[in-house]
Structure 1
Amino acid sequence: MNRLIQYGSTDAIPFYNCSWKPESEWWNNGVQRPWLGYPITIFGILIELLYIPIIWIIFKTKLIRHTCYKIIVLLAITDMCATACSCIITGILLIQGAVFCVYPTFIYIIGGFALCTWCGACAITLSLFLNRIVSIGLRDYADNIEKPMAYITMVLCVVYMFYISFFTTPACFNSLIMAWPSDPLSEKEPSQEASNYYRNSSQAWNNWIFITCMVFLFTIYCALVNKLARGQNSKASRAELSCHHTFCNLCMTVYQGILCPVRFCEGTRSTDVIVDEMEGNSGSQISFGAATSTLFKIDMREKLKCEARKKGHACENIARMVLTHCRHRLCYDCLLNRVMFALEKKFPPRCAISRCANTLSWSEIQSMACHTNQFNRIHELAQKQSIMFILPCEKRPNESELLIECYLYTNENNMKTIVLPKVIVVVDAITAIVQLLRVSSSKSLSAIDVYVRKACTEKRGKYKYEKVPTDGKMTIKEAGWADKAGGGEVSKVTVVIDADRQIVRLR
């Protein structure tokens, strides 16, 4: 492309002059091939149309957040441009039987663009392969390496494409040989000087390097996958269910069902989880009960994650505390650092999450301090600053109100609270809860199951779910939301919204 900018036109570029023969005679040098041109053109249009929903799905499902999908989108856009040149434009030129000197400027520009997209696709493919190797082979460091490496390789690929487009010899179409050679076949007599002028060593090096690197990277990738497969075949990496069926941990991680994966087997899965210490338990085992085909997943990484350190190294303190109002899950070490810093600087301590404006209550600070060795220091600083009188208290309803903790079924980590009067109608209370949890507006109340979660006195489980009717004009007090098992009333109740009616299928 730099030659076209330098000389101003294709006829002025050395060895690209087509003016010594009229255009009508140049048409006679070509061969019309509609039997090949039409299928290639239709195929190219079909491929372009298929790329559009694929890219849309990647953005719609938010897969674009992963670095490998960023590279995939760049590769898809490059392939779409390459398909437009190699299929659609090539097909039209084959139908017409064109040669370089029929459309010299157009073919010169398109030839450089086609070569640029081919070399760019090679480079992006290598970067995608390298990304996958890092993700599998360096899993301990992938979070710190994968993202910056992906951005660097993507920038280098784009720069490489500009270099190929502007500073190398373009390809020139010829319908006689049905190809894009670097020689435009525009000279009266071939010469060695012209052949040297047409030579594109960058493309040749690109092809050799691409093939060599792909063989090398593919060998490494196969070795890593084979090593991973051998590890999954060991006894230490296998899990035995209650039905005595044995599976590798990788398969059980991918499989999201609560039943044994073997067909017609009613065995259930069980897993050890660490429970939030605010609930008073250090650990428990959750076992899945009745036969069902409902998919359910417990993400152990989510259970152990401290939200104050996103994509950083894991906190040493595995105990977590969920704050009452903002529902952020933080380890005691991260929370202690924020509270101590706030007390020493003489302002109310807030949540350790960046830009979270939630101010910690005094009971939350006390609960956190009990799990650290700084209890006396925190209490001393709080008394000096009268911090106990500045901090907000928890939501404490009066005698005519009820504190409702609500969450979507299978998403208890995002529990929210709301205070409602006991004389409110059940339908209005459910409507307020649904709006608070942002349930899809396309679902009507009749299509949603609502349950009140209460402690289970039997041995069947920790909780029992009592279904709440979504019609009628009873108040939440009359519906028994605040009734205590042994008589009297409670000031707090937990409501579960089952938008997909999974609890019914579990029963």
Structure 2
Amino acid sequence: MIGAQYEFMPTMLLGPEYNCSSVMPQGQAWADKYGVKQIPFGVYSLVFGIITEILYIPCMIGLGRDLRSSCIKIMFWLALLDMVAIMANCVLFGVLLLEGAVFCSNPVMTVGVGIAGYGMWCTASACCLVLALNRLFEMLNLSRYFSVSSQVPTNMQLLFQSTRTNIYIGICSAYGLFMVLFTRTLQSMFFSPFIQGHNTDEYVNWPHAVHNMVVALCSCLLYMALCAVLMLKSVWL
């Protein structure tokens, strides 16, 4: 039953639910007929995204100076994901707002923005949980799950610590890629491409909804655990 909820995205986009030509040819005519140019919001989104990307550059330089720490390495990867997400969700999305675009007026760009935004969100939120676990394990003196024993030579410690952290980051990245390539049938950044003859209920994205609920629940539990450990340590110390 769960497997039936997934379909390879490139194949999915070739289906009748995304066939704009069944109504009229793809292109500007769709935006002229159904789109609304959002100039103030579009300018705000575009400018905010560009400024944020520029501000991220010194942050990336600072983080990149010490990638030996598993915590810093995860934060550096999160920053990269965030920069890609901002490019999609602010800069390119601002362009779409200025154009008054709808799905069928520019399917390639719309799908690209949706893929980047959705994929980066799934990957980054999973990495945030890994980062929270990293901090929790550090406070519980369980950092060996992100590093290696102090009895191992220093150069080997750095090698294995880097490798282990890379594995965690790789798992999160693979998860985000899976959510993009094999996701709920008939979904887009806007959930519905608004093609005549199709109900919006067809475009509900259950994996996305489940992901959001799981991330919210796990985040709360992890932060509660972090607070509990900090309180206990403050009492004992």
Given the alignment of the two structures, is residue 202 of structure 1 paired with residue 204 of structure 2, yes or no?
A: no
C-alpha distance in 2 between matches for 1:51 and 1:145: 30
SS of alignment partner, residue 101 of structure 1: helix
Structure 2 counterpart SS, 1:65: coil
Partner of 2:145: 145
Aligned to 2:29: 25
Instruction: Within 5 Å, give how 1:213-224 maps onto structure 2.
Output: 213-224=218-229
Kindly indicate whether residue 65 of structure 2 is the aligned counterpart of residue 57 of structure 1.
no
- 1:68 pairs with 2:71: yes
AA of the residue aligned to 1:46: I
1:159 — aligned with what? 174
- Residue 16 of structure 2 corresponds to which residue in structure 1? 14
* Amino acid in the other structure paired with 2:201: S
Work out the CA distance in 1 between the residues paired with 2:166 and 2:236.
31
Q: Which one of 169, 193, 197 corresponds to residue 189 of structure 1?
A: 197
Query: Quick one: distance in 2 between partners of 1:46 and 1:115?
Result: 22
Cα deviation for residue 106 of structure 1 reads 2.3
Query: 1:25: how far off?
Result: 3.5
Classify the secondary structure of the residue corresponding to 1:15.
Answer: helix
Listed one character per residue, the Cα deviations across residues 62-116 of structure 1 (whole Å, up to 9, x for unaligned) are 2x11100010011001111111111001111111111100011221232122111
Question: Counterpart of 1:129?
Answer: 132
Q: Which amino acid is 1:203 matched to?
A: H
Structure 2: gaps of 5 or more residues? 1-6, 148-160
Q: How does 1:169-180 map to 2 (within 5 A)?
A: 169=184, 172=188, 180=189
Check the 8 A contact 1:33/1:94 in 2, yes or no. Answer: yes
Q: TM-score, normalised by structure 2?
A: 0.82
**Matched pairs, number:** 212
2: distance between equivalents of 1:203 and 1:217?
A: 21
- 2:45–2:91: 8 Å Cα contact kept in structure 1? yes
8 Å contact 1:131–1:150 — kept in the other structure?
A: no
The answer to whether the 8 Å contact 2:122/2:179 transfers is: yes
Which one has the bigger strand percentage?
Answer: 1
Which of 38, 45, 53 in structure 2 is aligned with 1:48? 53
Question: 1:104: which partner in 2?
Answer: 107
Structure 2 Cα separation of the partners of residues 228 and 152 of structure 1: 30
**1:213 counterpart letter in structure 2:** C
TM-score (norm 1): 0.40
The answer as to whether partners of 1:111 and 1:171 remain within 8 angstroms in 2 is no
Contact kept, 8 Å, 1:112 with 1:171, in 2: the verdict is no
The 5 Å alignment of 1:46-445 reads: 46-60=51-65, 62=66, 64-137=67-140, 139=141, 141-142=142-143, 144-147=144-147, 150-169=165-184, 172=188, 180-186=189-195, 188-191=196-199, 195-196=201-202, 198-232=203-237
Write out per-residue CA displacement over residues 279-316 of structure 1, whole angstroms, 9 at most, x where no aligned residue. Answer: xxxxxxxxxxxxxxxxxxxxxxxxxxxxxxxxxxxxxx
Consecutive unaligned residues of structure 1, counting only runs of 5 or more, are 173-179, 233-507
In 2, are the aligned partners of 1:108 and 1:171 still within 8 Å (CA)? no
Amino acid of the residue matched to residue 192 of structure 2? D
1:38: how far off?
0.7
Q: Counterparts of 1:216 and 1:26 in 2: how far apart (Å)?
A: 46
Distance (whole Å) between structure 1 residues aligned to residue 28 and residue 132 of structure 2: 49
Secondary structure of the structure 1 residue equivalent to 2:104? coil
Q: Measure how far apart 1:152 and its partner are.
A: 3.1
More helix by share: 2
Task: Tell me, yes or no, if the aligned pair for 2:85 and 2:117 is still in contact at 8 Å.
Answer: yes
Aligned partner of 1:37 in structure 2 is 42
- The 1:220–1:157 alpha-carbon spacing in structure 2 relative to 1, beyond 3 Å, is same
Would you identify which runs of 4 or more consecutive aligned residues in structure 1 move more than 4 Å? none
Equivalent residue letter for 1:14: P
Say whether the 8 Å CA contact 2:29–2:105 is kept in structure 1: no
Instruction: Letter of the 1:185 partner, please give it.
Output: F
C-alpha separation in 2, matches of 1:221 and 1:106: 41
Choose 1 or 2 for highest CA Rg. 1
Preserved contact between residue 9 and residue 183 of structure 2 (Cα < 8 Å): no
Deviation (angstroms), 1:219: 0.5
- Mapped to 1, the partners of 2:61 and 2:111 lie a distance apart of 33
Give the superposed CA RMSD. Answer: 2.0
Bigger relative contact order, structure 1 or 2 (CA pairs below 8 A, ≥6 apart):
2
Instruction: Give the whole-Å Cα distance in 2 for the aligned partners of 1:14 and 1:91.
Output: 28
